[in-house]
Structure 1
Amino acid sequence: MKAKAAMALLVVFLVAFSVVASGCIGGGKGETTTIPQSPTTTSSAGGQTTTSPAGTGTSTTQSPAPPELKPGIAEMDNVYVIVTDKSVVIVGPKGASPTVNIPSGKKVIRVEYEVDTANTPDVKTLMEQGQGFGAIDPAFFRDEHVDALIIAARRQTDPTIRTELFKAVYILGNKLVPEVILGQNRQLRVYWNWVKGRYYHPTLAERYDLLSEDQNAPSVKIGIKDYKNDPETYTIATFGWPESFDPAMTYETFGWEIWHEIGDTLVTYWKENTEQVSPDLAVAWAHNKDGTEWYFLIRGGVKAYDPWDDKTYPIDATDVAFTFLRVERLGHSVSWMVDAFMDVNHSSALTEEEFDQYLKEHPLIAEFNGKSTTVKSLDELKQFFGYSGDTAGVFKLVLPAPYAPVLGILADPFLSVVPMEYLLGDKYQEALQASDNGHDPSAWWNYLSEGKSDPTHQLMHNKPVGTGPFYVADYQKDAYIVLEYNPHYWNATANPGHRRVIYIINSDAMARINIFKTGTADVVAIPPEKMDTVKGLELNGFKSIVQTDILQPILTFLVFNTQREPFNDPLVREALAYAVPYDQISKIVYQGLLERNYGPIPKPWPGYTEEGITQYKYNLAKAQQLLQQAGVDPSKYKIELIYNEGNSAREKIMTLLQNVWSQLGFQVTVNSYNWPTYLDKTEHGEYDVYVVGWVPDYLDSDNWVGPFLYGATEFKSLEVTVS
């Protein structure tokens, strides 16, 4: 395409936003193009401000030259212009149109939006509801431009455009700093080599019935009742406590690990596979052409086991529909994934006959094992997946918009299917009838309530019931949890790798290490600085393993409360990002197991970039300069740094920061809280600064930028144009 023609096309597309183009690069080799500016607007970049007279691409007086764009961000006229290595991303309200020079060879992606003010929740209300790291990011940070880019990326189906949008969000997250990324974690695993078959998955814990032990492994009394750590028992010495035994009310790794052992989701990942999901409670699935309706054929013969009353409950498609709606109804922070990507009120449970009849008139697309086909009957779908067993109905899942990673969300343990009959008790038949046997799940809102007061939550929180390979047999809060092999598990075997799992809870790292040294535990959670104490151990001819070779897609970071002074000022946040001793934290606290990262996407996921960002380094002089620029007197502010008790690495981080930030003049204290209290405080915005790690919910870059930066802005309209 010739340069002149390209320039004309660019102007047309960037004025007429409702037109969407793709694959057209504006500007010929060595030339630039200009986006016309709105009347009497102001442009600023690099601290310089220039004003252009009214006009629509031409003017009657001489205008200053538009700013040259370099990798990074320019903010002008309430518009962000973000330059990546391959594109220029422009985001702003409907009608805004700054004048900028577009570097040649760059794709131009423009996101134009109109905020739905009436339906955008108040940030303070989200705090009161405890929606931090849920409906809104953990910093309670809101920037409409950032939110528009995140929503644009979610709706985009072209992976190359999604990647450029993710880069733009990464660059903005790096500059606006609602969270300071301390680094990306390497995994530290400590275990005895009598454990066999260990594997790693980025989002799911290992299934302990799939691991085994050498039969010559020692048998050691645990000191809890009559329990022993023997070759059939997998014993874990760890710290903390699950947020809840209710999958709909837990949003942290411990709770999800428990539910991966005691529950089943519609689909799952088989061991280390990250490329595609495998059948679990769904034996086959298909979707419509635009990806807004998904149909899951439910496995027959599955039972949920209630060990508290020694009863079982058959599972079918109505239980699935109930599970999904219940997650949204209870409204815990984890429910954001259901609320954002699924329409559970219009989803439903179908019979096989209803589904088969639907397929005759509405063929669906089935994809599995790298193959795709169109299915016109239930038998064709079953044959495509190679399934010939019993079934228990079909769950129809409706999405408000197509979302590429949806199957990854369905593999998350918080969507483990729970038995509706167990949870509703005497109201079960009434609720089933009210919903027309699951055809109208919205009827169940009347049988559930929001929050921890919901009776079904109280029941599941204290007496969890699931369908997985294990069940919770015994526990004492903050002391131990015992899982036993489930005799009613649909895929039970005569010789599972383990018949029992025991978590020994101890907040003291050295106490856990001593438990490990005696063989009382097979694996142990330890802080990195204690690695040398467990290297080279021997017991009964076995050796300890200390594994550090896996770079995980896990980020460790500080979270500012952007609704409190002085953290509501991005200059202050940037200043404090320069007042972090990153090298000390990596080398001393994490023994080199923390690699630098500068924004909310891990290496090497789409959107990670090192162009156009600030590579923050420890620089107190720079921090003081930025605080002066912000007009902030540090001596007037008290800062409480908090961490979860028992996590010595985070304690050391906060102690280091206390020392450094005190040098800046702030009054700094450090406090710790037990894990459930810590989560409650941070979810409700009752903090100044806290430290945490993020293990992805599902394997897509949106699952970092969304949780880290999305401020819960709703939009009346949002258009993306590409040229």
Structure 2
Amino acid sequence: MSAAKYAAVFIVGILVGGIVVYGAFPRKVVKEVVKEVPKEVVKTKEVVKEVTKEVPIKPNFVIVYDQATKIPEGELMRWTNINPGGLYSLELSALILAARYETDAAKRAALYAAVQRLANDELPLIYLYQPHIRLHYWNWVKNYYANPIAPDFKINWLEKDPSAPRPDQIVYVTIGEPESLDPAVSYESAGWFIAGNVYERLVEYYLDHTDYVIPGLAVAWAVSPDGLNYYFAIRAGVKFYDPYEGKTYDLKPSDVVFSIKRVAGIKESPSWIITDFIDVDAVTVVSEDEMKDILAKGLDVPVKGKSYTVKSLDEWVDVFKKEFPEVPYQKDFQIAGFVKVPMIEPYPALPLLASIVGSIVSEDYIKAHATPDDPWATEYMYEHPCGTGAYYVESWEHQAQIVLKPNPHYWGLPKPKIKEFIYKIVPEAQSRILALKAGDADFGYVPAPVEEQMEGVTLEHGGKTWKFIQESKGYDLAQVHLVPNCAKPPFNNKLVRQALAWAIPYDEIIKTVLMGHGDPVYGPIVRGLFGYTEDGITKYNLNLEKAKELLKKAGVDLSKYSIEIAYNEGNKVREQIATILQQTWSQLGFKEVKVTAYAWPTYIDKLETGDFDVGIIGWGADYADPDNFAYPLATGGYKFIGLEVVWLSPTEATVFKTTKDIIMIAPSGRAIVG
């Protein structure tokens, strides 16, 4: 019989109260061949009894596959099919892919918790901290909030006190110019902020919430019971506004189809958010009669952590009129038509479509400005956005400012109250401080190391004393970490990576560099995402003795190695972190520890090509799902055929006993048990 038929891999976790809990004991990794087990036997769960003859375990899930292939080094892309450290790990790859396509929420969270624990032990990255969201603004600004998913905030929610300076205008001082205002092209925070306020998506995040989405250009959504097909009812009465030619275009269901296919056709950096999960060629408009027939068979409606089953259009609509009392425009709506969005595999589509790359554009507008050489009109769309959002771009003075004004055809609520919003690009922190102190800017980006300059600042204006506010608003969906080059010595040794993790003054970094505005993070998944756990996690802290013990155990002579800690120039926070690490790691016995700053394009190129020792970098959410962290930050460079999860009942699981985590690693055609 073929090896593919008999190959089976088992990665087993313990489920307690809906969470995979690895014992509080130190993890034990045992490399040992167990035995060949047919996949068919695995699925009957008889394999558990066979395996436990050799290893005592108390499993709750088993991951099986027909074939695993190690991706050749020449085909590796860091952050894409292997973690940025370049660490090959079959177990991390299998766990992450299993979690990605699990449709049951509790089981999916359990798998991601297992990913968190394994990554915390293997350390493809050395995790530093999760920053707090910090707001810096004058108290004359009302309703200012921050969402960790772009566009950070919606301008139409903002107001100003009538007695404030420039009561109808807001000036936002920040860093960075957009690469493009085209949502299918832009993949950076500046472009996403502007596009997020000019364009809209089928679903949106409500104010600072990331735990659920609200209706946007879709008044309702539903998914087939197998998780493979999403359906959207498209809002009627919405218009795209072209301020450059004074035209409007009606939103049509076909615009949704076109927008998704345009992202795939352009193939720019953010396109993977759509093309990795959505069967783009199969996205289509559905007639009302077809939609009613589909509904009659039953569709699931996931809203706010609950799930309804609906079998008629009226039932479907009623759910969305009742479940969103906080959304004023959802009390009464009309439907323009329906769209079907099929998935390649079962996957939560709503966070993907809430991302900026999921913005809906006008097919008619694009075609009006397309050329034979530019069929998607990306050149024109670069700085001529035409959206349905509350604001439009009046002008863009490059490297200086972008001016937005209220869309006179905006359909939604609240209606814009600020008549002019100026996104002012001010690279120098001290220049931003001066503008804020003078009241020439209303809010902006103030890095932690210079926050003290704005403490207690007040301004007299309009007969009032105004105060400058600096406050935290929970955790950002982001983290900063070290990237050790796991493809080269000495970082290819796990014990060395663990030793380095024990040789970091985390508390000092958070206290002196972040001014206390962050907390340690212990794995790829951050607080605020399901699957985050601290159970069974090693909480690394500064312990040089433990670090030296691990280095001795590793048998690595660090005096042979000169290493470089790299960061992107101009980033003062990372510069300070690098300096602190240089001082601490020099005590471990390296021949030399040096710090080097590189221009951003050079720095990224070095990380992507593996031309580095240790880098300092961050990762922020593209969309609110743990897969957006686990896959790019921890996937292990393997691909699979026939990967599945077999879940065991509590009765089956408790037959066996364990006191330690055990990961059995075996060659092809053998069993792997963890």
Q: What TM-score, normalized to structure 2? A: 0.80
Secondary structure at the aligned position of 2:148 is classed as: coil
TM-superposed CA distance for 1:264, in Å, is 0.4
Alpha-carbon contact 1:73-1:172 (below 8 Å) kept:
no
Distance 1:21 1:656 in 2: 39
Per the alignment, in what secondary structure is the counterpart of residue 155 of structure 2? coil
Q: Pick which of 365-374 and 254-263 moved more.
A: 365-374
> Is residue 420 of structure 2 the alignment partner of residue 484 of structure 1?
no
User: How far apart are the structure 2 equivalents of 1:321 and 1:149?
Assistant: 33
Contact kept in structure 2, 1:350 and 1:394, CA below 8 Å: yes
User: Structure 1's 604 and 364: CA in aligned 2 closer, same or farther, altered over 3 A?
Assistant: closer
Aligned to 1:557: 481
SS in 1 for 2:382: helix
Q: Which runs of 5+ in 1 are unaligned?
A: 1-14, 26-67, 80-92, 219-229, 429-446
1:608 aligns with one of 516, 532, 550? 532
Could you say if the C-alpha distance between residues 338 and 604 of structure 1 is closer, same or farther in structure 2, counting changes exceeding 3 Å? Answer: closer
How far apart, CA to CA, are the structure 1 residues paired with 2:636 and 2:429?
Answer: 37
Please say if residues 134 and 334 of structure 1, whose CA atoms lie closer than 8 Å, have aligned partners that are also in contact. no
The answer to whether residue 32 in structure 2 is matched with residue 77 in structure 1 is: yes
1:586-625 equivalences in 2 (<5 Å):
586-603=510-527, 605-620=529-544, 622-623=546-547
**How far off its partner does 1:98 sit?**
7.6
Partner SS, residue 618 of structure 1: coil
**1:476-495 Cα distance to aligned partner (Å, 9 max, x none):** 343322222222323277x6
Match among 447, 472, 475 for residue 393 of structure 2? 472
Deviations 1:416-465 (A, max 9, x none): 1122333344779xxxxxxxxxxxxxxxxxx99xxxx9864444334333
Question: How far apart are residue 247 of structure 1 and its match?
Answer: 1.9
Residue-by-residue CA offset, 1:299-335 (whole Å, 9 max, x unaligned): 2233333334444333322221222233334444433
Q: Does 1:518 align with 2:438?
A: yes
Match of 2:281 in 1: 345
Which of 137, 148, 153 is residue 206 of structure 1 equivalent to?
Answer: 153
Matches within 5 A, 1:369-448: 374-378=309-313, 381-386=316-321, 389-403=333-347, 405-425=348-368
How many angstroms apart in 1 are the aligned matches of 2:278 and 2:107?
23
Corresponding residue of 2:567: 642
Extract unaligned runs of 5+ from structure 2.
Answer: 1-5, 17-22, 35-46, 322-329, 654-674
Q: In structure 1, what is the equivalent of residue 325 of structure 2?
A: none
Aligned counterpart, 1:334: 270
**Counterpart AA for 2:407:** N
Contact 1:198 / 1:211 at 8 angstroms: preserved in 2? yes
Q: Secondary structure at the match of 2:411?
A: coil
Structure 2 residue identity aligned to 1:410: L
1:438 aligned residue: none
Pair 1:537-2:491 in alignment: no
1:713 counterpart = 2:638: yes
CA distance in 1, matches of 2:564, 2:469: 40
Which residue in the other structure is 2:227 paired with? 291
The answer to which structure, 1 or 2, has the higher relative contact order (CA under 8 A, 6+ apart) is: 2
Residue in 2 that maps onto 1:215: 162
* Identity across the alignment (%): 36
- Cα distance in 2, alignment partners of residues 637 and 569 from structure 1: 16
Aligned with 1:281 (options 196, 202, 217): 217
Provide closer, same or farther for how the CA distance between residues 573 and 274 of structure 1 changes in structure 2, counting only shifts above 3 A: same
SS at match of 1:491: coil
Greater alpha carbon shift after TM alignment, 319-328 vs 512-521? 319-328
Determine helix, strand or coil for the equivalent of 2:280. Answer: coil
Shift of 1:71: 4.8
| Contact 1:72–1:611 under 8 Å retained in 2 | no
> What's the offset of the Cα at 1:266?
0.3
Q: Which has the larger displacement, 454-463 or 231-240?
A: 454-463
* Secondary structure, aligned partner of 1:392: strand
Give the aligned partner of residue 315 of structure 1. 251
Instruction: Give the whole-Å Cα distance in 2 for the aligned partners of 1:654 and 1:311.
Output: 52
CA contact (8 A) 1:210 1:498 kept: no
Normalising by structure 1, we get a TM-score of 0.75
RMSD value, Cα = 3.7
Matches within 5 A, 1:147-158: 147-158=93-104
Cα distance change on mapping 1:555 and 1:563 into 2, 3 Å: same
Matches of 1:317 and 1:520, distance apart in 2 = 43
Distance 1:681 1:24 in 2: 41
Equivalences for residues 672-711 of structure 1 within 5 A = 672-674=598-600, 682=607, 687-711=612-636
* Whole-angstrom distance in 2 between the partners of 1:654 and 1:19: 40
Aligned partners of 2:505 and 2:515: how far apart in 1?
A: 14
More moved, 621-630 vs 694-703: 621-630
Greater mean deviation of Cα atoms: 321-330 or 372-381: 372-381
Distance (Å, rounded) in 2 between the aligned partners of 1:23 and 1:625: 30
Offset, 1:714 = 2.6
